[in-house]
Structure 1
Amino acid sequence: MVTLSVLDQSPIRKGGTAAEAIANTIELARAAERFGYSRYWLAEHHNTSSFAGSAPEVLIGAVAGATSRIRVGSGGVMLPHYSPLKVAECFRLLETLYPGRIDLGLGRAPGGDMRTSRALQPGPQAYDVGVFPQQVELLTQFLEDAQGLAGEAGGFPADHPYVGLHATPRGPGMPDLWMLGSGGDGAVIAAQFGMAYCFAHFINQDAGTQPLELYRRSFRASRHLTSPRGSLAVSVTVADTEEEAKRISASRNLWVMQLLQNRAGAFPSTEEALAYPYTDQDRTMLRAIEQRGITGAPEQVRARLLAMGETYGVDDFVILTITYDQKDRLRSYQLLAEAMALNAVAAVASVRSSQ
Structure 2
Amino acid sequence: MITLGVLDQVYISEGYGATEGLQQSTRLAQAVEELGYSRFWVSEHHSMPALAFSSPEVLIAHLAAATSRIRVGSGGIMLPHYSAYKVAENFRLLEALHPGRIDLGLGRAPGGMPLATKALQQDKYVDVNKYPQQVLDIIGYLHGSLPSGHPFEKLLASPSIPTAPEIWLLGSSGESARLAAMLGTSYAFAEFFGTPGGEQATKYYNEHFEPRDELPKQPRSMIATLAICAETEEEANRLAFSSDLLFLGIRTGLVVPYLPSVQTAENYPYTEADLMHIQQLRTRRIIGTPDQVKEKLIQMGQDYGAGEILITSPIYDEQARIHSYRLIAESFGMK
Q: Confirm or deny that 1:51 pairs with 2:51.
A: yes
- Note the alpha carbon deviations across 1:178-209, whole angstroms, 9 max, x for none: 11110112111111211110111001342241
Q: Which residue of 1 aligns with 2:154?
A: 164
C-alpha contact 2:168 2:188 (8 A) present in aligned 1: yes
CA distance in 2 between partners of 1:2 and 1:341 (Å): 11
Deviation at 1:167, TM superposition (A): 0.3
For structure 1, which segment, 36-45 or 223-232, has the greater mean C-alpha deviation from structure 2 after superposition?
223-232
Q: Which residue of 2 aligns with 1:259?
A: 250
- Note the alpha carbon deviations across 1:129-157, whole angstroms, 9 max, x for none: 42111111111111111xxxxxxxxx123
CA distance in 1 between partners of 2:268 and 2:148 (Å): 63
Paired letter, 1:143: L
In structure 1, list runs of 5 or more residues that go unmatched.
146-154, 344-355
Q: Which residue of 2 aligns with 1:133?
A: 132
Q: Which residue of 2 aligns with 1:278?
A: 270
- Note the alpha carbon deviations across 1:197-229, whole angstroms, 9 max, x for none: 011100134224111012123211012111111
C-alpha contact 2:70 2:101 (8 A) present in aligned 1: yes
- Note the alpha carbon deviations across 1:103-131, whole angstroms, 9 max, x for none: 101111111101111211376442x3421
Paired letter, 2:196: D
- Note the alpha carbon deviations across 1:31-62, whole angstroms, 9 max, x for none: 01000000110111110111112111011111
Q: How does 1:99-178 map to 2 (within 5 A)?
A: 99-121=99-121, 124-126=124-126, 128-145=127-144, 155-178=145-168
Question: 2:299 is matched with which residue: 307, 311, 333?
Answer: 307
Paired letter, 1:288: Q
Question: What SS does structure 2 have at the residue aligned with 1:202?
Answer: helix
Q: 1:208 to 1:188 in 2, by over 3 A?
A: closer
Q: Which residue of 2 aligns with 1:323?
A: 315
CA distance in 1 between partners of 2:204 and 2:108 (Å): 18
Q: Which residue of 1 aligns with 2:63?
A: 63
Deviation at 1:15, TM superposition (A): 1.3
Q: Confirm or deny that 1:218 pairs with 2:243.
A: no
Paired letter, 2:216: L
C-alpha contact 2:169 2:185 (8 A) present in aligned 1: yes
CA distance in 2 between partners of 1:233 and 1:130 (Å): 25
CA distance in 2 between partners of 1:186 and 1:206 (Å): 14
TM-score by length of 1: 0.91
Question: What SS does structure 1 have at the residue aligned with 2:196?
Answer: helix
CA distance in 2 between partners of 1:230 and 1:84 (Å): 23
CA distance in 2 between partners of 1:16 and 1:201 (Å): 28
Paired letter, 1:28: L
Deviation at 1:281, TM superposition (A): 1.0
CA distance in 1 between partners of 2:60 and 2:286 (Å): 27
CA distance in 2 between partners of 1:57 and 1:310 (Å): 32
CA distance in 1 between partners of 2:272 and 2:319 (Å): 32
Question: 2:181 is matched with which residue: 154, 170, 191?
Answer: 191
Q: Which residue of 2 aligns with 1:236?
A: 227
CA distance in 2 between partners of 1:286 and 1:229 (Å): 32
Q: How many residues align?
A: 333
- Note the alpha carbon deviations across 1:249-287, whole angstroms, 9 max, x for none: 101111111111112321111001111111111111110
CA distance in 2 between partners of 1:157 and 1:333 (Å): 44
C-alpha contact 2:184 2:209 (8 A) present in aligned 1: yes
- Note the alpha carbon deviations across 1:288-315, whole angstroms, 9 max, x for none: 0111210001000001111112211123
In structure 2, list runs of 5 or more residues that go unmatched.
none
CA distance in 1 between partners of 2:284 and 2:149 (Å): 49
Paired letter, 1:324: Y
For structure 1, which segment, 132-141 or 114-123, has the greater mean C-alpha deviation from structure 2 after superposition?
114-123
C-alpha contact 2:81 2:120 (8 A) present in aligned 1: yes
C-alpha contact 2:189 2:198 (8 A) present in aligned 1: no
After superposition, the CA RMSD in angstroms is: 1.2
Q: Which residue of 2 aligns with 1:249?
A: 240
CA distance in 2 between partners of 1:68 and 1:49 (Å): 30
TM-score by length of 2: 0.97
CA distance in 1 between partners of 2:47 and 2:186 (Å): 29
Question: What SS does structure 1 have at the residue aligned with 2:109?
Answer: coil
Question: What SS does structure 1 have at the residue aligned with 2:293?
Answer: helix
Question: 2:172 is matched with which residue: 160, 182, 185?
Answer: 182
